[in-house]
Structure 1
Amino acid sequence: MIEVEAKFAVPDISRVRDRLSLQGVRMAGRQQERDVYYNAPHRDFGETDEALRVRYDDTGVTVTYKGPKVLVGSAKAREEFNLAVASGETFETILSRLGFRHAATVLKVREFYEMDDVTVTLDDVASLGTFIEIEILTEGNNEEAADRIGVIAKELGVDGPPIYTSYLEMLLSKRQ
């Protein structure tokens, strides 16, 4: 499965929320997330543009591997694999024993809105600000998905340039 998404900084997230409401789109859920990122002992994920994340949220713990980003129009696409685990702490201990190093932790509050096969997420990310992510999971229609994302962004009044860096990259860059 390929995740095609575009992320934009939004200074006033309530304006986007209002536009969603005007379109009849209601919030599907809200949750806090704690994403703990790791780097591999045998290669630098910062250089290979990969990510390994352990996500703690209201529904449980999910381990995610993300492959390198590929730009598709004004969006990005990347391979993604998710695995639910019973204990994030145990999994993190296993990673540590295997030589994986903690890279950073990203904290955020997310609101989810579902529009058919499109997920719109409004994020308030600690130390970074507020953002919108528009995402479509596809089996290979990357350009079509990117075009649809662009149309949805305009409909929601999002007019800034897309951000291709992840929250992890933004946080690490801010620390330097």
Structure 2
Amino acid sequence: MLEVEAKFAVPDLESVRNRLVRLEARMITRQKERDVYYNAPHRDFGETDEALRVRYDDAGSTVTYKGPKVRVGSAKAREEFNLAVESGETLEAILSRLGFRRAATVSKVREIYEMGDLTVTLDDVDDLGTFIEIEILTESDRDDAAARIGATAKELGVDGPPIYTSYLEMLLSKQ
């Protein structure tokens, strides 16, 4: 599965939230998320543009692998695999014993909305600011997905340039 997404910095989440309501987007949840990122002992994920994280949220714990980013129009795409785990803490202990090292932790408050097959998230990220992400999961049609994401950003009044770096990369560059 390919995740095609675009991220934008926004000064005010409330105006985007109001447009989502007017467009009849369905709010799925509002939750705190804590993402613990790891680096492998046998290669540097920063160099290979991969990511391995353990996410803690209201639903429990999930491990995610993300492949290298590929630019698609004004969006980015990357392979993504998610797996719910019974205990994130146990998984983190296993990763540590295998030589994986914690790279950083990203904490945020996230609101998730659905607009058909698009997901729109409003993020307030600790130490970074406020952002909107628009994404589509697709098997193959990434160009169409990128075009639809761009059109949705305009509908939501988002006009800044897309951000191609991850929250992890932004946080690490600040340190």
After TM superposition, the score normalised by the length of structure 1 is: 0.98
Within 5 Å, give how 1:4-83 maps onto structure 2: 4-83=4-83
* Mapped pair 1:98 → 2:98: yes
* Mapped pair 1:109 → 2:109: yes
Q: Supply the RMSD in Å over aligned alpha carbons.
A: 0.5
1:169 corresponds to? 169
- Tell me if structure 1 keeps the 8 A contact 2:26–2:115: no
User: Percent of aligned positions with the same letter in both sequences?
Assistant: 80
2: CA distance, partners of 1:113 / 1:82: 19
2: CA distance, partners of 1:97 / 1:24: 47
Amino acid in the other structure paired with 1:141: D
* Mapped pair 1:89 → 2:86: no
User: How far apart are residue 172 of structure 1 and its match?
Assistant: 0.2
- Gaps of at least 5 residues in structure 1 are none
2: CA distance, partners of 1:147 / 1:14: 25
Detail structure 1 runs of 4+ shifted over 4 Å in the superposition: none
* Mapped pair 1:153 → 2:153: yes
- Gaps of at least 5 residues in structure 2 are none
User: How far apart are residue 27 of structure 1 and its match?
Assistant: 1.6
When structure 1 is superposed on structure 2, of 18-27 and 112-121 the one drifting more is 18-27
CA distances 1:31-64 after superposition (whole Å, capped 9, x unpaired): 1000000000000000000000000000010000
Amino acid in the other structure paired with 1:81: F
Aligned length: 175
After TM superposition, the score normalised by the length of structure 2 is: 0.99
2: CA distance, partners of 1:84 / 1:103: 21
Amino acid in the other structure paired with 1:169: E
- Tell me if structure 1 keeps the 8 A contact 2:55–2:62: yes
